[in-house]
Structure 1
């Protein structure tokens, strides 16, 4: 669990950085492709393709294409319609998607009722923290975020269920994850990008370097490895811990107003959800 907590802290600033400095300034297709290319460059020197059967290599590349390739394409475009806080709000259904996908598609038996309850509590806690009157463009933004949530949820569950050996072995094949993501986002960029909106200046390139090497490269390796260490209920509930973390970053660095009562109450509900899921030590 400590890995998931650490990555949550690592990702907390990403929403704000995208919303404050990249959305509307750098074309979303270009920004996502640069992130994936940087993350791929980080793992290519470690790639040992012969350590994984060909079918598993294709599966891992496919997971990367779905979990972060398509997901980020949808997410970045959602920022054109929503504020950072609204994006955070609309991610609250991810725990339910994770639980539902694992139960109906990837699991041979029903998940414990406790894990379903934990997922529902995670959604409730996040809603308490971040439910506000949506903006006029909320429907388009909402649908984009739900598509992103489904991709991220499916990718996490698929990675958890894919046999990849030890954590050291995963490190040596993780380049495939970003090969899939880079191919997907590269094709989308070639077809749809507005190349007049390329990154300019030290600030935008610095943010992209951080997002590519840190948040994406190291972050997704750690997060996906951690999915194999926890049960589905823990994984589902931890997906919503990013919401209070992201709001705290917004407050600390950009002075965004925070309803501390709602934040405290919602965070308490989220912690209850994590505790409830963690009571069952099974990893299935």
Structure 2
């Protein structure tokens, strides 16, 4: 549990840092550099004995779960303050639940309640707020990131059941797939021309995000996940959000309608609680 708490705090800094330091750089370039660094961190763990079919699946899955996710996630900062990016990432577990249910053909109206409640919470925060039009665009882009990450998790779960392989090796291949995907996007968009404009301070932020937040963070998270039960892990998946909101509003001097934020976040948190309760019930059946 200590490892999960540490990583939650580690990740919470990312939202304010990205908004404050990197929004002037092309999202595809930031994503590519972050994923390339992360791939380099995991490179020593690659095993070349993985069969070709599995390797291709992992490369494609990495491109979706991490490549598309980071690209859309970083892009959302062009429209949203850091604390809202943090709040709106809470939808990911709900998408995991919904996608898994659709693929397993087990979705019912009761399972839709947490999703509807979370949408209501998001509406409270955004409705008639300053820059609400831009926030709506950012919200939609961020949901693309959440969906990509959710679909990747469901896909990886199914791959894990089909193949008996080393998790760290799988992650290494997935990050390479993600890095390759984003490098292709950078070439298509020609955003690589912005590399020369990155300041030393911004390079330090990118190094932190790629090596520490992603590389070390995911490794510690996977270690901590083995030490707790499923219910605790479900709760910890969203534990970084209150830290991220607090850091964004204090350390990074972002401004928010506190009453609206508190009410909307409470609704979203309630939806997450309902979802985790449903998952526990489902696991016990």
1:131-146 residue pairs with structure 2 within 5 A? 132-146=129-143
Which residue is 2:28 aligned to? Answer: 29
- The CA deviation string for residues 234-255 of structure 1, in whole angstroms up to 9 with x for no partner, is 64x6555443221111123123
Distance 1:53 1:37 in 2: 23
Contact 1:33 1:182 in 2 (8 A): yes
Aligned counterpart, 1:14? 14
The match for 1:42 is 41
For residues 22-71 of structure 1, the C-alpha deviation after alignment (integer angstroms, 9 at most, x for no partner) is 111x2222211111111111111111131x33222222222211111011
Question: Do residues 250 (structure 1) and 248 (structure 2) align?
Answer: yes
User: Superposition pairs for residues 94-105 of structure 1, below 5 Å?
Assistant: 94-105=92-103
* Conserved? CA contact 1:74–1:148, under 8 Å: yes
User: Structure 1, residues 198-243: CA drift from partner, whole Å, max 9, x if none?
Assistant: 253331111111100122223334556749x7659964x6555443
Would the alpha carbon gap of residues 182 and 14 (structure 1) be closer, same or farther in structure 2, given more than 3 Å must change? Answer: same
- Displacement, 1:133? 4.2
**Higher RCO structure, 1 or 2 (CA under 8 Å, sep 6+):** 2
Contiguous gaps of at least 5 residues in structure 1? none
Report the Cα distance in structure 1 between the residues aligned to 2:179 and 2:248, rounded to whole angstroms: 29
Partner of 1:75: 73
Give 1:155 deviation, angstroms: 1.3
Whole-Å Cα distance in 2 between the matches of residues 254 and 55 of structure 1?
45
Equivalent in the alignment of 1:282? 283
Q: Which TM-score applies when normalising by structure 1?
A: 0.78
From the two aligned structures, give the one with the greater helix fraction.
2
Unaligned runs of 5+ in 2: none
| Map 1:1-284 → 2, pairs under 5 A | 5-24=5-24, 26-50=25-49, 52-105=50-103, 107=104, 109-110=106-107, 113=110, 117=113, 132-163=129-160, 169-198=166-195, 200-223=198-221, 226=225, 235=234, 240-257=238-255, 277=276, 279-280=280-281, 282=283
2-structure distance, mates of 1:173, 1:239: 21
Deviation, 1:192, is 0.4
* Secondary structure in 2 matching 1:174: helix
| Range with greater deviation from structure 2 (191-200 or 159-168) | 159-168
Alignment partners' CA distance in 1, 2:284 and 2:230: 4
Task: Quote how far apart the aligned CAs of 1:4 are.
Answer: 5.2
Q: CA deviation at 1:122?
A: 5.5
Task: Give the total of aligned pairs.
Answer: 279
Query: Does structure 2 conserve the Cα–Cα contact (< 8 Å) formed by 1:98 and 1:157?
Result: yes
- Cα pair distance change 1:282/1:221, threshold 3 Å: farther
